[in-house]
Structure 1
């Protein structure tokens, strides 16, 4: 209730033309010096309550005036705000004057403009590079060849230089990634390859496609899938099959990129890896080992067949030579063949059979020969007459 009563009292004083601190509004004194303040205090008494924050310091009656824009910039100069005191501020920076008191400022501006014109209008293009000139960085103007070239200054014409002879490469897929492709016999193969290409037409490369590098990757993947789908798994894994796939992919990529007017020349495709999927690689290794064992057995059989055929051919050649001799002297050749055959047969046995009158059919000649003192001579065999 005390707070409410005080607030009502201040409102009443304001309506009566007095300030809230006991004086008239707009000043610290009453209009009549003889008139006593309305709140019953003496004229010499100080106003009660806190000091008015809007009055200037030192007890002046005039209220503090807020600073205007003229006061803010009144003490500023080219070197910044002026500080009061200290001898009236430091020295000002002034450009040196030329002959006759003329300023060097226009000449400095002209020199800067000349340097800017030369730096942005003259372009030296290397032998392996080309430059694309555009209007304000957007519309195509023309292409700069190698050598010294001139254009309008920046930003009217902008030049973007590119190395068109550099062989660039794209690896598909990235490192540690798996790319499964379906073969013609419904098998999957994990295949990674490298694309080598360069820029053929810089204008088409820059303005025909939004993302040329990404387009090259997508075209290469489409061509690779189409080429692998035409071959079986064994052909894809073999060296000859890889070379065939690389040639097909290169041809198809170049046809597609030329149709897109991409301005790209495909230099070649290099297949780096052809493996089965990781889930079945162990079983695939077992199958490969079995196939290698089968190939080894087949090669061994073929080698044995070649040896047998060579031996048979040699025997046939020898028989033909003997037959030629037999045709010249049949009786002599027949008897010689008989002797050689009997010699080769009887030399391997230790028994001698003699067919003659008065001779025992079987004689243990080896035992008799061992009992005799002198060293035995080799038994001679005489063929019966008429044989």
Structure 2
């Protein structure tokens, strides 16, 4: 049996578990209503790259991007109510520029500020990109956005300019022992001919004393991810620490999405990685954590990529992963879905 047929059969017959969830394998469950968010604006066929933001007052927000309408934001109606985990109210656009993609939202409880990092493709050709940041003040669980955005990082090194000069997929956190903010980002681009989309090639790392920079690259070479040899990996889309775990930031646990190619057929799979050197490099712990189904026209038939994590609102023994899936290759649609993974499966690696 081919790899495609085997994976398709294994994903066609899951057993039902807690209401609203379907078992994929031990400790890994898909939301039964997947996809949970779809593009609703006119002429849009993509809603992707979700970022999950939890405030210290209990509110939950989700950010995602469309093609022409920029970055959209949503607020969860009932975070802690059974069955209400995926009931979101759409607030509209927070970054309204076409080509604003791949958001990541960071909340600083000490300053009550939200910092929304995102990748912006350059007008008019939208081929090159830089990382920008938008800030907002939190009051009573609501966010008031400031008008002026700040440029955080632009492509400078040769591997960042490979293909088309791009840096994006930002993820930022404060590292206690480094006493610095750490930015992981994707760089470069390659064209995937079967799906007719461009995806990143490498990952980079930069640090700053302040969240708004300036950010300095830690190395002039791409971030090392050990354990990818022989895995058909041709690129890396993003790297983000797993939120909701009791992290040792000197030995962090993270997820990446791997761009793959097998016999000319491309895909993307989310993998679990960890580090023993303060996040300066990583190694693969679980190669195929969340993978495409390869089931015809399924919402994640071909790709599972842009993602973010947080504690599952219904059961805090699980980590929730929001990500966008693609229901085919060329001329396909992208939507946002949810998988939850039992915490012990992520910690015992």
TM-score, with normalisation over the residues of structure 1?
A: 0.15
1 or 2, which has the higher helix percentage? Answer: 1
TM-score, with normalisation over the residues of structure 2?
A: 0.17
1 or 2, which has the higher strand percentage? Answer: 2
